[in-house]
Chain A
Amino acid sequence: MSLRRLWAVAVKEINHIMRDPITLGLVILAPTVVLFVMAFAVTVNIQHVPIAVLDYDRSPTSRAFIQRMTAGDDLDLYAQVEAFEEIDALLLRGKIKAAIVVNPRFAEELLAMRSMPLLVIIDGTEPQSGAHALDHIAWRTEEFISQVLGQELEALGMPRGSLQTLDLRVRTWFNPGLKSKNDVIPGLISLVLGFPALSVALTLAREREHGTLEQLIATPVGRAELILGKMLPYIMVGLVNVILIPAIAIATFHIPFQGNYILFFLLSAIFLFAILSMGTIIGVFIHTQPAALALSFLVIFFPAFFLTGIFFPIAAMPEVMRMESLALPGTHFAIITRGIFLPGVGLEVLWPYAVMLFGLGVGFSAVAALFFHKKLA
């Protein structure tokens, strides 16, 4: 293998990346944009969910309850209705996402400390805001009840401490915002850092389409020189992303980075080697850019989304899919990224994943080089 030829291929490819705005945008800008769009979509707090209330009790206590319910920014009182049918109509017209029905003896049952049903209706067609509304209604109800009962206990000359602990437990349950952000964003970072795989899958197909491959394979350039020479620039661009993207994410979303950055950088390089080798295999077999693009999404990005445990836990998957997820570089890199970001673990924990990544990289690139023939047909 001639390193001089390998490097010449790499320099040519770097020139192409730097001079073609589309390629440059695809490798540098796209990961950042996707990270932002998805991070906001996943971690944004749903607020001002419109609800309706039907109060059969009409007591001072029930009025206080309704007021408490809509006090914050989470729920907005769209209408206080008189009949059950009105709720139905409002839900159907999409005016409200949820409704609360306060039963006739609300205050009485509450003060008697008896079990009390509270009817909550959720618009199931929009589960996100519906679930969010339900969370808040449950939380506000607990809060209200403990407060009312606490006042009651105080009036009887008893301490209210025991009720407070109940209150705290509910809060941790229904305020998951911060926790999910710290978990989801490192996962997303591991996903978007794999984007250069798309460009590397396209680069061989592009050479075929432009006819440049015909001139290139007429030279004595070796297969491995060509394959590795084409991957090298995208690894370098990918490493620029490894510097940029975590920095942007930390500054924007205020997520903690507690591990060793040098370690993260080095393991990212191994990950890029593995996922770019995967992209190269596509480029070897698929001869047109649109087809290579479609297949990259199908083979690299959809599995990266669904099977690497970023959003859906691997433990919950069927056996076959768990096996498949092990063959995806993203699975191991997601564990590495999350580990380094939040608990801040080191190589003593992460080495098996690093070894797996390297093995996948060697395996994939060997397949690419073996199946790439210096022939047109």
Chain B
Amino acid sequence: MMKDDAAIIETHALTRTFKEVRALDSLDLAIAPGELFGLVGPDGAGKTTTLRLLAGLLTISDGSASVAGFDLKRQSEEIKHRVGYMAQIFSLYGELSVEENLRFFAKMYDVPDGEIERRMERLLRFAGLTDFKDRRGIHLSGGMQKKLALACTLIHEPEILLLDEPTTGVDPVSRREFWGILTELHLGGTTIVVSTPYMDEADRCSRVGLMYAGRMMRCDTPRRLRAEIQGDVVIVRHEDWRKVGHAVEEISGVLQVQTYGEALHLVVDSAEKRIPQIEEALRKEGLGAAEIRHAPARMEEAFISLIREMEAAQESSQEA
């Protein structure tokens, strides 16, 4: 772990309460300069609240935080000069053109006049929007809107980027393009905090924080989070996959059955123990041989199994 004094974002017991609900419950987090930090968790876990707090858009209920060396409570306006924040929904001006939106935000961020045209041209090229610079915001596709929003948050060349689900509702090609841009920024040294519902995106982060019910439950590299998963993934391929599915569901160590096209992904407690049992079950049903192999767990499985664990823990604590 890094030392605290090296962190560009640092929170201590940061808490935000909405009426009775603790949307964010004593968050302790340190993010080093240049990190690409992913925030994952189910809806309502507190990802948006965290990002809005760090951007200075919400008042802090309790705890403290510093961003780019400034105190979040007292110096939120200084922070705004150094941070680029992108909201979850499209929140640029629909009746303004791409270029007008960029120019407007450039002026809001005090970008000097001589710089504006140069930066705009570069960002438009960067975001692939040069040909659409006269199009109004509302007439852009979802993917282009997201790229324009990113360009607007980059116009003042911020040290820190806070992105709230920047690729939700975007087609896979635009999603890939968007991450191409993020990679370049990451390589350029910008600190990025991004929330995402997509586990393949979480896999691309240098560190991932898993949030649940307002709390940061795990915070580690994707590789180590994947290693935390309880059990293994077994892939079963068979012509009659429906029957196979029903047959293996009965086995006690099979925790989950998911279909992927004509293959079944099973989460089991132990591959070594269960693969022979699966083969046995298929023989009994007279289904014949199937292609069965042990696969590495992906972020998605790790995420789901961790969430299941937390849900179970919460239920048992409520019963107690």
**Interface contact B108-A220, CB-CB below 8 Å:** yes
Q: Which of A2-10, A136-144, A364-372 is the interface stretch?
A: A2-10
A211 on the B face (CB < 8 A): yes
Identify B57's interface contact among A5, A15, A375, CB under 8 A: A375
A213 CA / B91 CA spacing, docked (Å):
8
**Interface contact A220-B57, CB-CB below 8 Å:** no
**Interface contact A2-B104, CB-CB below 8 Å:** no
A12 CA / B87 CA spacing, docked (Å):
20
Interface string of B65-99 (1 = CB under 8 A from A): 00000000000110011010111011111111000
**Interface contact B80-A219, CB-CB below 8 Å:** yes
**Interface contact B108-A214, CB-CB below 8 Å:** no
**Interface contact B152-A12, CB-CB below 8 Å:** no
| A215-B80 CB under 8 A given contacts A4-B107, A12-B93, A375-B57 | no
| A219-B95 CB under 8 A given contacts A375-B57, A376-B57, A377-B58 | no
Q: Which chain B residue shows the least CB distance to A213?
A: B91
A210 CA / B91 CA spacing, docked (Å):
7
A217 on the B face (CB < 8 A): yes
User: Which A residues touch B80, using CB under 8 A?
Assistant: 218-220
User: Which A residues touch B93, using CB under 8 A?
Assistant: 12, 16, 212
User: Which B residues touch A375, using CB under 8 A?
Assistant: 57-59
B117 on the A face (CB < 8 A): no
Interface string of A142-167 (1 = CB under 8 A from B): 00000000000000000000000000
Interface string of B204-229 (1 = CB under 8 A from A): 00000000000000000000000000
B105 on the A face (CB < 8 A): yes
Per the CB 8 Å criterion, the residue count for chain B at the interface is 33
A11 CA / B107 CA spacing, docked (Å):
11
User: Which B residues touch A215, using CB under 8 A?
Assistant: 85-87, 91-92, 105, 149, 152
**Interface contact B105-A211, CB-CB below 8 Å:** no
8 Å CB contacts to B: which residues of A1-39? Answer: 2, 4-5, 8, 11-12, 15-16, 19-20
Counting chain A residues whose Cβ lies within 8 A of the other chain, the interface size class is: 20 to 34
Interface string of A215-231 (1 = CB under 8 A from B): 11111110000000000
Interface string of B109-120 (1 = CB under 8 A from A): 110000000000
User: Which A residues touch B95, using CB under 8 A?
Assistant: 15-16, 19-20
User: Which A residues touch B94, using CB under 8 A?
Assistant: 210
User: Which A residues touch B76, using CB under 8 A?
Assistant: 374
**Interface contact B109-A219, CB-CB below 8 Å:** yes
Q: How far is the CB of A319 from chain B (nearest CB, A)?
A: 42
Find the residue from A20, A214, A215 having the highest chain B CB count within 10 A.
Answer: A215
A220 CA / B76 CA spacing, docked (Å):
9
**Interface contact A377-B91, CB-CB below 8 Å:** no
Q: How far is the CB of B303 from chain A (nearest CB, A)?
A: 27
Q: How far is the CB of B209 from chain A (nearest CB, A)?
A: 21
Q: Which chain A residue shows the least CB distance to B16?
A: A377
Identify A5's interface contact among B87, B96, B110, CB under 8 A: B110
A38 CA / B83 CA spacing, docked (Å):
53
B55 on the A face (CB < 8 A): yes
B18 on the A face (CB < 8 A): yes
**Interface contact A211-B59, CB-CB below 8 Å:** no
**Interface contact A8-B58, CB-CB below 8 Å:** no
**Interface contact A377-B104, CB-CB below 8 Å:** no
User: Which B residues touch A16, using CB under 8 A?
Assistant: 93, 95-96
**Interface contact B96-A12, CB-CB below 8 Å:** yes
A39 CA / B195 CA spacing, docked (Å):
59
A283 CA / B110 CA spacing, docked (Å):
26
Identify A217's interface contact among B57, B59, B92, CB under 8 A: B57
B52 on the A face (CB < 8 A): yes
User: Which A residues touch B143, using CB under 8 A?
Assistant: none
A4 CA / B153 CA spacing, docked (Å):
19
**Interface contact B58-A220, CB-CB below 8 Å:** no
User: Which A residues touch B52, using CB under 8 A?
Assistant: 214, 376
8 Å CB contacts to B: which residues of A85-143? Answer: none
Q: Which chain B residue shows the least CB distance to A373?
A: B59
**Interface contact B92-A5, CB-CB below 8 Å:** no
A20 CA / B100 CA spacing, docked (Å):
16
Residue contacts A-B, CB under 8 angstroms, 20 given: A4-B110, A5-B107, A5-B110, A8-B107, A11-B104, A20-B95, A211-B91, A212-B92, A213-B91, A214-B57, A215-B85, A218-B57, A218-B80, A219-B109, A220-B80, A220-B110, A221-B108, A375-B57, A376-B58, A377-B18
Q: A15-B100, A218-B55, A376-B58 are in contact. List 11 more A-B contacts (CB 8 A).
A: A5-B110, A12-B93, A12-B96, A210-B94, A211-B89, A213-B91, A214-B52, A215-B86, A374-B76, A374-B77, A377-B18
Question: Residues of A with Cβ closer than 8 Å to B?
Answer: 2, 4-5, 8, 11-12, 15-16, 19-20, 210-221, 374-377
Closest 10 CB pairs of A and B: A8-B107, A219-B108, A211-B91, A218-B85, A215-B91, A220-B80, A19-B95, A214-B87, A211-B89, A221-B108
